Amino acid sequence: MNHPASHQPAPLASPPRTGSAPDAAGPRPATAGPAHPAKPPHPHSHPHPRPRPSARAWTAARSATLAVGALLMLVPMWLLAVNAFKSEQDIRTSPFGLPVARLSLSYLRDALSDPDFDVVRAYGITALFVVLVNVLSLVIAAPVSYVIARGRSRGHTALLLLFVAGTFVPSQVILIPVVYVLKYVGLMGTIPGFVLFETTLTLPVSVFLYSAYIRTVPPELDQAAAVDGAGRLRTFWLVIFPLMRPVVATAVILHGLSVWNDFATPQIILGPGSGLYTVTTGVYAAVGKYSTHYAVVFPNLLLAVLPALAFFVIMQRHIISGLTTGATKG
Q: How far apart are CA 66 and CA 60, in angstroms?
A: 10
Q: What is the mean pLDDT of residues 22-30?
A: 48
CA distance 292 to 303: 18
Mean pLDDT for the chain overall: 81
Between residues 13 and 47, the one the model is more confident about: 47
Residue 274 amino acid letter: S
User: What pLDDT score does 6 carry?
Assistant: 46
The more confidently predicted of residues 116 and 56 is: 56
Choice among 33-47, 163-177, 286-300 with the minimum mean pLDDT: 33-47
Look at residues 274, 10, 278 and name the one whose alpha carbon lies nearest to residue 119: 278
In 3D space, the residue among 316, 210, 300 whose CA is nearest the CA of residue 256 turns out to be: 316
Q: What pLDDT, in 10s, does the model give residues 207-263?
A: 999 999 999 999 999 989 888 888 888 999 999 999 998 899 889 989 999 999 899
The pLDDT, as a whole number, for residue 172 is: 85
| More confident position, 195 or 51 | 195
pTM, rounded to two decimals: 0.73
pLDDT digits (tens, 9 = 90+) for 33-43: 455 555 555 55
**Across 182-196, 223-237, 297-311, least confident range:** 297-311
* pLDDT range class, residue 7, cuts 50, 70, 90: very low
Q: What is the mean pLDDT of residues 191-211?
A: 94
